[in-house]
Amino acid sequence: MAKKIVLASSSPRRRELLENIGLTFTVDPSEIREAQPAGLKPAELARTLSLHKARAAAAHHTHSIIIAADTIGVLDGKILGKPLDSPHARKMLAEMSGRCHSVITGFTVVDSDTGRTISSSVETKVFFRKLSRGEISRYVNTGEPMNKAGAYAIQGLGALLVERIEGDYNNVIGLPLCSLAVVLKGFGVTLPV
């Protein structure tokens, strides 16, 4: 009997991405405090956070393959978290205007029966066009930047800010599907392609 797939995330975007590739799964968000261990490089941090989420979820499931992820933005070596409020979102977007930043998603897959674990990370470079103060204010006023790492959603109105990307588009949304698929196949998960 095939193992159950569990997505340890409350992200509707991650759920949608997995549904789009025809994966059958349940959602069980991992309730961990996302404390950021000091001294880790951004890719290590994203992997570590995803690992904690996956292990927490694996403790509640048997005969399951757990998928967890954590996405962060990075500009000038500094982590771009979620904006605290509208002025903070404006400041973040102004800093990214006309520049390139990185989006890094760490993901972990765990077999809850054997404990076998693989953690990886994928980086995508995102180039913003030069934004006027008015454009930034209008975007922030839509409410979309709130609760989004880096204060934008590339799959929404944030697409209007992005000049180009280098790397995996789905990674910017929150889950690098191609890399994840390779790992899932190694865990015996059957995918359409």
Please indicate whether residue 28 is annotated as part of the active site: no
Cβ-in-10-Å burial (0-12, 13-18, 19+) of 147 comes to exposed
22-52 in b/e form (b: 16+ CB < 10 A) is ebebeebebeeeeeeeeeeebbebbbbbbbb
> How far does Cα 131 stand from its chain's mean position?
24
Question: Residues 56, 50: contact at Cβ < 8 Å?
Answer: no
Q: Which of 28, 70, 76, 168 is catalytic?
A: 70
Catalytic residue positions? 70
